[in-house]
Copies of this chain bind each other. A is one copy, B any other.
Amino acid sequence: MKMQDKNALPIGFAAPAPIDRWDQTRADPALLAKAYADPRARRLVLDGLDPLLDGGRLVREPMPAGADPAAHILLGRESDGVPLFAELRRDIPHGATYAPRVWEAATELEPGELALYGGTRSLVDWHARHGFCAVCGGATVVAKGGWARACTACAAEHFPRVDPVVIMLAEYEGRVLVARQPRFPPRRYSALAGFVEPGETIEGAVARELFEEAGIRVRDVRYVMSQPWPFPSSLMIACTARAEDDRLTVDHTELEDAFWVDAAGVRAALDGEEDAPFVAPPSMAVARWLLVHWLDGMATRP
């Protein structure tokens, strides 16, 4: 099947960011000081957690004279060798959801720039919400060039979170399961998803979530792809699985509705046809790519 341009890779936020993360510099105070003192050093300019765009790129500015190193994170080194920072502020709202401007940016930014924005957003948000030590309640300060915070009272170190989330398509006899949450736009359906819990494998989390939310038992869980999702800081792990049967028991505390859809219905949704059985997730979402992946597999099956 020939997909439209909007179905061309890469997945939103998943391209390689155009930056060397320069990890040895973070942990070395002398190298870090040198990076801060570099007269060419730049920082990304955000509006709270939202991006500011200059064509297909994020806005950068020279590091202001007298900028406080303890209020910045070293994102890395750009392709021209210049250190790139982001300012860490406490006066920004939590970024568990995104503003319409992020949606627009996702279509306008070059893929690498979008990825750079996503990672930066997660880090800036994490710092804003971690001014205190979870162990003792003491104040924390920026450490390791912004890749950690250290407690001023008990010396505990804290590291930015990345929360693994499984997102999956269950298949049963040529149909896949799509579902909608009450907060979705009208007619939008997507793949089911949920956080991986302590003590679980990826495969175990996929099976548990599908049983909890849709009442189906699955086998043959297969990894397909991954995507960072910076609202606030998830790692989306996209999988497929085979359902043992197609009887659904929908958990209505989580889902508004769920149904099985065949290849023709998925194709119509991805093509944006008016009479499609549902509205597909946007290209920024890995759920769309799971549907594309599944349809590609269906087309090549013997």
Taking Cβ atoms with an 8 Å cutoff, the residues of A that contact B are 13-14, 16-17, 21, 23-24, 27, 115-116, 118-120, 122-123, 126, 129-140, 147, 156, 158-164, 195-204, 208, 212, 223, 225-228, 230, 233, 235, 237, 251, 253
CB of A199 within 8 A of CB of B131, answer: no
Which of B129, B131, B159, B199 interacts with A228 by CB under 8 Å?
B199
Picked from B130, B134, B204, the residue with its CB within 8 Å of the CB of A129 is B134
Cβ–Cβ contact B132 & A162, under 8 A: no
- Please list the 4 inter-chain residue pairs (A to B) with the smallest Cβ-Cβ separation, ordered nearest first: A119-B199, A132-B137, A122-B198, A223-B223
Q: How many copies make up the complex?
A: 2
A151 to chain B, nearest CB (A): 10
Cα–Cα distance between A129 and B137 once the two chains are bound (Å): 10
Contact check, A129 vs B135: say whether CB atoms are below 8 A apart: yes
Tell me the nearest residue of chain B to A28, going by C-beta.
B253
Residue in B133, B156, B197 whose beta carbon sits within 8 Å of that of A21 in the complex: B197
**Which of B126, B138, B140, B196 meets A162, CB within 8 Å?**
B196
A-B contact pairs, 17 of them (CB 8 A): A13-B199, A17-B199, A21-B212, A27-B253, A118-B199, A120-B199, A131-B134, A131-B137, A132-B133, A132-B134, A132-B136, A159-B163, A161-B163, A162-B200, A198-B230, A199-B228, A203-B226
User: A91 to chain B: closest CB distance in Å?
Assistant: 13
**Interface-central residue, A23, A120, A227, by most chain B CB under 10 Å:** A23
Q: Which residues of B contact A251 (CB under 8 A)?
A: 24
Compute how far the CA of A63 lies from the CA of B160 in the bound complex, rounded to whole angstroms.
36
What is the bound-complex CA distance between A212 and B20, given in angstroms? 10
Q: A132-B133, A160-B198 are in contact. Are A21 and B208 (CB under 8 A)?
A: yes
Q: Are A201 and B228 in contact, CB atoms less than 8 angstroms apart?
A: yes
Measured between beta carbons, the chain B residues less than 8 angstroms from A140 are: 134
* Minimal beta-carbon separation of A126 from chain B (angstroms): 7
> Given the complex, which residues of B lie within 8 Å of A225, measured CB to CB?
201
Known A131-B134, A135-B131: A199·B164 in contact at CB below 8 Å: no
List residues of chain B with CB within 8 A of the CB of A131. 134-137
Contacting residues, chain B, for A196 (C-beta < 8 A) = 162, 235
Q: B residues within 8 A CB of A237?
A: 202, 237
Would you call B198 and A226 a contact (CB within 8 A)?
Answer: no
In the complex, the chain B residue whose C-beta lies closest to that of A125 is B198
Contact between chains at B119 and A200 (CB < 8 Å): yes
With A129-B135, A198-B233 known, 7 other A-B pairs at CB within 8 A are A16-B204, A119-B197, A133-B137, A160-B197, A196-B235, A202-B226, A203-B226
**C-alpha gap A160/B159 in the complex (Å):** 14
8 Å CB contact of A235 from B133, B138, B164: B164
